[in-house]
Amino acid sequence: MPMIERKQVIPGDVIAKGNHRYGPYIEKRGDEYVALRVGLAEVGGDGVKLNPLTGPYLPRAEDEVIGKVVDINGFGWVIDINSCFDGFLPASFVFGREFSPSTHDLSSKFAVGDIIGCRIESYERSRDPQLSIRGEGYGRVDSGEIVKISPTKVPRLIGKRGAMINLISEKTGCDIRVGQNGVVVINGSPEGISKSANAIKMIEEETQAPDLMTRVEALVGGTGSG
């Protein structure tokens, strides 16, 4: 496996030269790959990648997100997905092909203010992201405490193969659901919720700390059913 090289970059920094595959937030100028955001750059087997330190949630197809219904129109729900774009959940994805605006009452299914776990069905830059609740576990979230973190910190919160989130979940006995858009819903005992929320906030604030896992463990370690 090739060595992965990580370095901090600011906009304008050259991350690599030559011929690579490259991801978002990077521009190719001649044979140089230039960073467009402040973040950590990686050059490895997968090409050139840049993980920005801040920024809004940019929708990606197949992402699982947690959104809030902010409006209902005749054909579906407008969902705030904590992004610069509003998501749209078409009624036909929920009621099926026989959906008709005159016979189905959309607000009886999801009302304004409801929290919905959903998946980004498709997204291209010319249109608002389209959402879907097809699949297991998607749909209205009926209880829990909502915590929002910066979407760029989500990978760290989840950890390698879910190590970090599983740790918090096991130690606090809470069920934690993380949307790729930075919205987290925690269910459990009041003490567990408050512990988990503190741990999540710590991860958000100290994302770059090398011993984060140990410190999170110390923070949530006290009680737990895990």
Partner 1 sequence: MSMKKNYVVETIRKAQMVQLLASGKRVDGRSLDQHRELKIETGVIPKANGSARVFLGNTQVIAGVKIATGTPFPDTPDKGILMVNAEILPLSSPYAEAGPPSEDAIELARVVDRGIRESKMVDLGKLNLVSGKSVIAIFVDCNVMNVDGNLFDATSYAVVAALRTAKMKKYVIKDEKAEATNELIQVPVEKTPVSLTFARIGDKVVVDPGAEEEASMDMRITITTEDGGNVCASQKGEASTITPAQVLQAADTSIRVGKAIRAKIIEATK
Give the nearer residue to partner 1 in terms of CB position, either 33 or 123.
123
d(CA 45, CA 32): 17
Q: Work out how close the CB of 182 gets to partner 1 at its nearest, in angstroms, rounded to a whole number.
A: 15
Contact between 157 and partner 1 (CB under 8 A)? no
> Rounded CA gap, 150 and 60, in Å?
16
Only one of the segments 22-30, 70-78, 96-104, 214-222 lies at the binding site for partner 1 (rule: CB under 8 A); that segment is 70-78
Q: Smallest Cα–Cα separation from 120: which of 77, 192, 180?
A: 180
Size of the site for partner 1 (CB under 8 A): 20
Q: What are phi and psi of 6, to 5 degrees?
A: -115, 135
- 69 scored as a contact of partner 1 (CB under 8 A): yes
Q: Residues 86-125 vs partner 1: string with x where CB under 8 A?
A: x------------------------xxxxx----------
Residue from the set 36, 38, 53, 78 that interacts with partner 1 by CB under 8 A: 78
- What string marks each residue from 9 to 48 as x (binds partner 1 by CB under 8 A) or -? ----------------------------------------
**Max CA pair span of the chain:** 60
Q: What is the DSSP letter of 162?
A: G
- Nearest residue (CB) to partner 1, 39 versus 188: 188
Q: What is the DSSP letter of 188?
A: S
**Cα–Cα distance between 185 and 187 in angstroms, integer?**
7
The Cα angle at residue 162 between residues 159 and 165, in degrees rounded to 5: 80
- For the CB of residue 136, give the shortest distance to partner 1 in the complex, in Å: 21
CA distance 75 to 94: 11
List all residues 6 or more positions away from 139 whose beta carbon is below 8 Å from its beta carbon: 116, 117, 133
- Please select the residue that binds partner 1; options are 9, 16, 50, 141, rule is CB under 8 A: 141
Counting contacts by CB under 8 A, is residue 175 touching partner 1? no
- Residue numbers of the site for partner 1 (CB under 8 A)? 68-71, 78, 80, 85-86, 111-115, 128, 141-146
